[in-house]
Amino acid sequence: MQHNHDVHGYWKATLGLLTKIMIIWFMVSFGAGILFVDIFNNIHLGGYPLGFWFAHQGSIYIFIVLIFYYAKKMGDIDREFDVHED
């Protein structure tokens, strides 16, 4: 593997990842739980309206997945730019 100490490339990759995660976070927390709740409430999941489920349960599951995804992708970025911990 090629070791690359490109500081600008590293921060571009890091900020790109953070931007994607923050967009997903916003869409799930604010979008699904608040903005589009009336649309999602027309769909039921386990007997509960989907908007209600997202606002109270679903967003937590997605946030946990985002944490693990972020950790994995940051590890990949760190290894790509040779700034990882051994």
pLDDT of residue 4: 54
User: How many folded domains does the chain comprise?
Assistant: 1
Assigned domain for 2 exists: no
Long-range contacts of 72-76 (CB under 8 A, 24+ apart): 73/17, 74/14, 74/17
72 found inside a domain? yes
Residue 85 lies in a domain: no
Q: What is the mean pLDDT of the chain?
A: 88
Reported as a single tens digit per residue, the pLDDT across 57-76 is 888 999 999 999 999 999 99
Q: Domain range spanning residue 29? A: 7-80
Q: Residue 1 domain-assigned?
A: no
Q: Hey, what are 39's tokens?
A: 């649309």
In a domain, 74, yes or no: yes
What is the model's pLDDT at position 1?
A: 46
Within a domain: residue 40? Answer: yes
